[in-house]
A and B are shown apart, each in its own frame.
Chain A
Amino acid sequence: MLVNTVVAQIVNFALEQLDDDTMKNDMRKRLGREWLFCDGGTGTILQAKGLKGGELPETWNLTHPEDIIDLHAGYLAAGSDIINTNTFGANALKFDNVGEIVTAAVGHVREAMRRTGREDAYVALDIGPTGKLLAPMGDLPFDRAVELFGEVVRHGTSAGADLVLIETMSDSYEVKAAVLAAKENCGLPVLATMIFDEKGKLLTGGDVDSIVALLEGLHVDALGVNCGMGPRQMAPIVRRLAEITSLPIIVNPNAGLPRSENGRTVFDVGPEEFAEEIGKIAAECPVQVFGGCCGTTPGHIAREIATVRKLPFRPASEKSRTVVSSFSHAVEIGPKPVIIGERINPTGKKKFKEALRQHDIEYILQQGLEQEECGAHVLDVNVGLPEIDEPTMMEEVVTSLQGVLALPLQIDTSDAAALERGMRHYNGKPMVNSVNGKQEVIEQVFPLVAKYGGVLVGLTLDEQGIPDNAEGRLAIAKRLYESADRYGVPRKDIVIDCLAMTISSDPRSALVTLETLRRVRDELHGHTILGVSNISFGLPMREIVNAHFLTMALQNGLSCAIINPNNASMMASYHAFCALAAMDPNCAEYIAAYANAAPSPVPAHSCAGGPVPAHSCAGGSVLSLGEAVTHGVEGRAADATRELLRSGRAGLDIINEELVPALDRVGKGFEQGTVFLPQLLKSAEAAKAAFEVIKDTLQGNVQQAKGRVILATVKGDIHDIGKNIVKVMLENYGYEVLDLGKDVPPERIVQTAMDEKIRLIGLSALMTTTVVSMEATIKLLREKGVPAKVVVGGAVLTQEYADAIGADCYARDAMETVRYADRIFA
């Protein structure tokens, strides 16, 4: 009996699995091969049934089951094939009974299918945005978002959903979290649609191209657009989708643009007009799935289906585009050479290594911003040092960089764990540097690219080393393409590194590289990449060789050049080549870069595209160091310092006799209300530039800091401009600042203070709601007996407030903090 039951359970389980697989396959077989139709609006219909504004529609799965079944039945009767569960906002941020709500929701669609005799339809587990902005701009961590969505997916799958439909997403990072959650928690088809505005932008800034790159990389089954506007306004976006995506396209518009009427949102486009507009889209663009969103009803969908079915069906077609993306835009590899900035890399860079060891993320961000300004299209990110935790550092650097700059990143590491952390947390479709012909590396890297998406750099070397001829390198390239096939990575997403080896040890090495470039392009129809400057290793005046080799490589078909974009000669080669090779229409980029350049050769290491530094004041008179600091003229402050050093003044003398008095004048002016914040900071920046020059000459004999101070914006607070102002000023006055950043838990502040034996801690809070964490931090510091003084500041703080939470000092502004520090460390 017992045995029988067990056997029956096993058989049942197997049958269910089979059923599940057939259903899945059935959906995947039909998607993109025949017309499929989604349902239409939910909220508008539920409002008509009595849902109040501000009431959460998902609660109706439990309180009004018949109304929900009725809603689904209406769309099934209209002919919809894909029915969304009423689970748009059903996540643990809003509900403590997510499982119950999701399970009921899936059941309601099934019941509606049974009642209408439409068992051929599919239950789509509907997933909408969390309603929170993801970190770093918001406070929802990416991993937490994946967890939240994952919970919904697990409940939906066990309740019997046939597919996952992620919709109305306005943030590329959030949609990535949702797709990963779906992929990691079920094997069902995943469809994703985004909400764009009329300019074709997401609320978080992304465009159609960047989203297509991301979602194709993540291997969704279909992608598209929903909500936000009506079919007429959506048409240009659909047109662009159809031009660039190789996946089936979903189009779910609203019934026109929303309009407010007595506090309610209404839509004006009726079924007839809606279907007519949809018909125009279907006739023009190969779209495979149509439905509706806000304001549409079963009436709209029925008319839409009738109109569309009369038109010839066109399947999706392969677009053969190689694209990487950031949160904001895409970069296509192929049509025009791509510059990949190489500066975020510790190899051979003392300062960079030091920054990694000191956890100086700001320094790394500066390297990124400089390269962006100089015209890089993609940034290589390598943070490997033997003594640091590379996976953690990679995640932190990738997330920090993408919070500041818009360029796509190339994640560069030989550590598989670091690669995965970087790829997982990357907001877009990255470049990945790299795989090579070694079997072990192939097995590590390809699965990650298959999962997260990316354009993969394939080095033409293997267990036997680097072939010294093109034939050998081509053979490895072919093997890499075959590996890509095996792992389901599209061949177009492989970029072959033909390897530049120095001509100082093998005079033929450049020729071999150039031949390989040509043959990858002509025989394998592939894209190529080179770390260009390796060609001149060991030679004097390397940039002469590098710049000429870059031109030769570009002429031989190089698609991506990894170079230092801050190097004017390299950028000159690039701009000249593009203009000469008809890749720069009207020579516009060339002219933009050089129209205002001096006729003499551009000095090396200055960036042609960047802003011109102001070296003197408007009148053209030459400022003294003191004047440069008080006027806040950064470039002049550095130059004046160099002049003083050349004239024989000692670094310390310059600091004590020129810089400190100048800073004091500005600081006093600020306190007296004659100098204001921008001027104070400009002076601080000028002084910093002067300090840097002096520091370089002191080399090792660095001046002792006056004291070490922790600064942190307290837990819950994510705006840290106030803290950063204080940091600049403290550093200027000779303090070493341990900047713990924003949203810092009390425990971390206490731990750091104890570990580093800190005597002064500065805390910042912006809101009354976060002053609470400030108080908690101070309390914990006192409990643990940390012998440090605490100075507090922030928009809502007052002396009384500071006293009440037990702070030692309230500082109204940055200068007051400096003065307090001077007292503590006197």
Chain B
Amino acid sequence: MLEIPRKEIYRYLGYHGVAPSTEVEALVGRCVAHLQEVIEPRAIHAVFPLEISPDGMLSFGGMRVSSQSLLKNLDGCVEVCMMAATIGVGVDRLIRQAEVRQMSQAVIYQAAGAAAVEELCDQHNAEIAAEAQTRGLACRPRFSPGYGDFALEHQRQFLQILNASKRIGVCLSDSLLMTPSKSVTAVIGLCKENSTSTIDPGLEAEPGHACQHCGCPDCQFRA
């Protein structure tokens, strides 16, 4: 069973380290239990060699990406792992149900769903890291289309390469929204252990919280 970290749920609900009331705590507990019944965690990935052209164009898995922020993340890497994860469409129905009956629960399902899919990503990332380690490789922090200047338009090809709609049911709307809503795509750079990015030497091989590498310092959800 996927453990959904409470701390993250409260972060998404806007509690900046403030303890929730006992009523809210109880409600979150009930919602999480219910959410656990409907989620279907699924994650896939594929590893490809990375090529970086002299002008900084990134090529992996048949994708060509021009992005300074992704280049910074992947610089020094030899391979790229493309991953996609989802907790399924059940949570969307649950949110919709709660929207009709109790909006307070809808926002909790929303937050808990987001926390759940991030947790799934962390777990899947850990498996990828363990596998990479056997080959003497380490993982860079996850980086998703839409972060920095890594254009969201790459989602279409990204999901196609992973065959994500067929394998885990992750599809894309015309406006590039993923469905089910609680789905994530990300690349994970794989580098030789102890090698750092020449562009950003501070970039640790060990994945810290994704927020640390985000360019939105005044975000209300920042960890």
Contact = CB atoms under 8 A, between A and B. Distances in A.
Contacts of A716: 173-175, 177
Contacts of B95: 721
A203 interface: yes
A676 B180 CA distance: 27
B110 A721 contact: yes
Interface residues on A, range: 35 or more
Interface string B42-59: 001111100000000000
Contacts of A336: none
B212 interface: no
A812 to B, nearest CB: 8
Given A131-B165, A718-B173, A770-B175, A681 B101 contact: no
Contacts of B101: 366, 369
Contact of A404 (B20, B45, B93, B173): B93
Contacts of A262: 47
A632 B104 CA distance: 10
A133 B96 CA distance: 16
Interface stretch (A541-549, A644-652, A654-662, A761-769): A761-769
Interface stretch (B10-18, B66-74, B192-200, B203-211): B10-18
A515 interface: no
A640 B22 CA distance: 22
A106 B104 CA distance: 55
B24 A678 contact: yes
B28 A678 contact: yes
Interface string A18-62: 000000000000000000000000000000000011110000000
A131 to B, nearest CB: 5
A134 to B, nearest CB: 9
Contacts of A260: 44-47
Nearest to B44: A260
A203 B28 CA distance: 27
Given A53-B161, A678-B13, A719-B181, A767 B93 contact: no
Contact of A129 (B18, B89, B166, B181): B166
Contact of A717 (B97, B172, B177): B177
B76 interface: no
A631 B23 contact: yes
Interface in B132-161: 146, 152, 157, 160-161
Contacts of B215: none
A263 B110 contact: no
Given A203-B169, A204-B89, A681 B177 contact: no
B179 A133 contact: yes
A347 B159 CA distance: 49
Contacts of A465: none
B123 interface: no
B186 interface: no
B108 interface: yes
B14 A677 contact: yes
A678 B24 CA distance: 7
Contacts of B89: 133, 137, 203-205
B47 A263 contact: yes
B123 to A, nearest CB: 17
B188 interface: no
A773 B175 CA distance: 10
Given A54-B61, A136-B96, 7 more contacts: A205-B88, A227-B166, A260-B45, A369-B97, A618-B22, A685-B102, A721-B107
8 contacts: A53-B62, A129-B165, A133-B89, A133-B179, A676-B14, A678-B27, A682-B27, A719-B181
